[in-house]
Amino acid sequence: MAAVPAVAMNGVKVGSTSQAYLESKAVKDTKSLISDLCRQFYNLGWVSGTGGSITIKAHDDSIPKPQQLIVMSPSGVQKERMVPEDMYVLSPDGSFLSEPAPKPYPHKAPKCSDCGPLFLKAYDMCNAGAVIHSHGMESCLVTMLNPSSKEFRITHMEMIKGIKGHGYYDELVVPIIENTAYEFELTESLAKAIEAYPKATAVLVRNHGIYVWGDSWINAKTQTIGIFMGAFGNQHDPQLDWLLSLSSL
Ligand SMILES: [Zn+2]
């Protein structure tokens, strides 16, 4: 089986993978799935034109998850117009194996998601199969209720049953990290939050959004819904109610 040399992301890491896996149905289907989900998430308000991102591992039963190829959405492409050919394919160590072709004006040169280093961290530390980064208004608003709060907590909410390891009577705790000027600068604080909250499957970023991961894309999507619905469930909070009313103006 022919090996494909990986282009180093940082000039140091170089990996290789089989050409057959790179051209497999699993990779093609994952590219299509991400473009479909981007469109759907755009319509849900979870991602904006260029804000937010999705990554999913190209699943193959014969390959352990840590060694599976990573498919990642690009930066700077309108989410509702994403197509499979826009996707990047990365080796598990983050080296680029396949990149989209440049498009004519007014499109900018292809660029992988700015969330790349954070996605890789979630893959490495949590053995995730998929990670969703959303700029959804609910995820921003719950971080604004108390600007000094380091956590979002909720319990007695049916939707949190969708979060791994949680039942109706459990308390869901999602850590909140502070935003930075550039997405990649969040990597270290995301890693620290994952370490400090081993049960958490999401990290909120104040005034910015949320990173949610799961064993599979279905699991990651279900958990995103659970957290967003949980945030809506807090609408009895007069401050959140007021903020939500502003967001719908
Ligand atoms: Zn973002």
Q: How far is the CA of 43 from the centre of ligand 1 (A)?
A: 17
pLDDT at 12 over 90: no
Q: Mean pLDDT over residues 144-162, rounded?
A: 87
- Note the pLDDT of residue 242: 56
Of 38, 240, 34, the C-alpha closest to 139 is 240
pLDDT at 13 (0 to 100): 39
CA of 120 to the centre of ligand 1 (A): 15
Note whether 128 and 93 are same-domain residues. Answer: no
**Range of the structural domain that residue 103 is part of:** 1-113
Residue 118 lies in a domain: no
DSSP line for 27-92: HHHHHHHHHHHHHHHHHHTSS-SS--EEEEE---TTS-GGGS-EEEPEESS-GGG--GGG-EEE-T
CA distance 231 to 221: 15
What pLDDT shows up at residue 2? 55
111 three-state secondary structure = strand
CATH number for the domain harbouring residue 158: 3.40.225.10
Instruction: Compute the distance from residue 49 Cα to the ligand 1 centre, in Å.
Output: 12
In tens, the pLDDT along 72-119 reads 999 989 999 999 999 999 999 999 999 999 999 999 999 999 999 999
Domain boundary among 113, 139, 166: 113
What would the pLDDT profile of 186-234 be if each residue is shown by its tens digit?
A: 999 999 999 999 999 999 999 999 999 999 999 999 988 888 776 656 5
The alpha carbon of 76 and the centre of ligand 1 are apart by a number of angstroms equal to 12
Tell me if 155 is assigned to some domain: yes
Q: Are residues 46 and 151 in the same domain?
A: no
The domain boundary, picked from 113, 138, 166, lies at 113
Residues 168 and 102 in one domain: no
Q: Is 99 domain-assigned? A: yes
- Ligand 1 center to 208 CA (angstroms): 6
Average pLDDT over all residues of the chain: 87
158 is catalytic: yes
Q: Point out the catalytic residue in the list 158, 171, 178, 185.
A: 158
CA 113 to ligand 1 centroid distance, Å = 10
Q: What does the pLDDT read at residue 145? A: 86
pLDDT tens, position by position, 154-177: 888 887 888 888 888 999 899 999
Cα 48 to ligand 1 centre (Å): 10
CA nearest 201: which of 173, 161, 229, 170? 173
